[in-house]
Amino acid sequence: MKVMVRLNRKRTSGTVLVRRETGDPWLPSTWPGESRLLHLVKKALNAKGWHLVKRRMWRDGHLTDDARAHLRSRVVREGRPVVAVFDGKYMLRSASEDFTNGLDVRLDMINLGDGRLSKPRKTK
């Protein structure tokens, strides 16, 4: 799986592009597949230094159904950016089905806090 982050020019939002590679797991097109895809994206982004956790959206106070999940910053502090990654088109298509069929999946990245988003510094 190849995961690429693209931020907009003002660094207030961006997209996460997920591309399937040979040997990636097959995912069902139902909710467990969507959850597994977010878990795999979380692992890939955390390996790049993003420090994200997977949470149910309603537990963070968002008005969604109880099955919807998103990735967000592990530490939430006032005055700091809070990264949130989610599937903004979950009502139109199944991201896990698109991933399994070899299509690129675009997830939305937004800032729920203050400040600008920036890619993490690379560590040795």
67-116 pLDDT, tens digit each? 678 888 888 777 778 888 988 887 788 888 889 999 999 999 988 877 77
1: which residues sit within 8 A by CB, 6+ positions away? 18, 19, 20, 21, 24, 40, 41, 44
Residue ranges of domains in the chain: 2-111
Instruction: Indicate whether this model's pTM tops 0.85.
Output: no
- Quick one: residue 68, left, alpha or beta (phi over 0 = left, psi -120 to 50 = alpha)? beta
* pLDDT band, residue 52 (cuts 50/70/90): very high
**Dist CA 79 CA 48 (whole Å):** 23
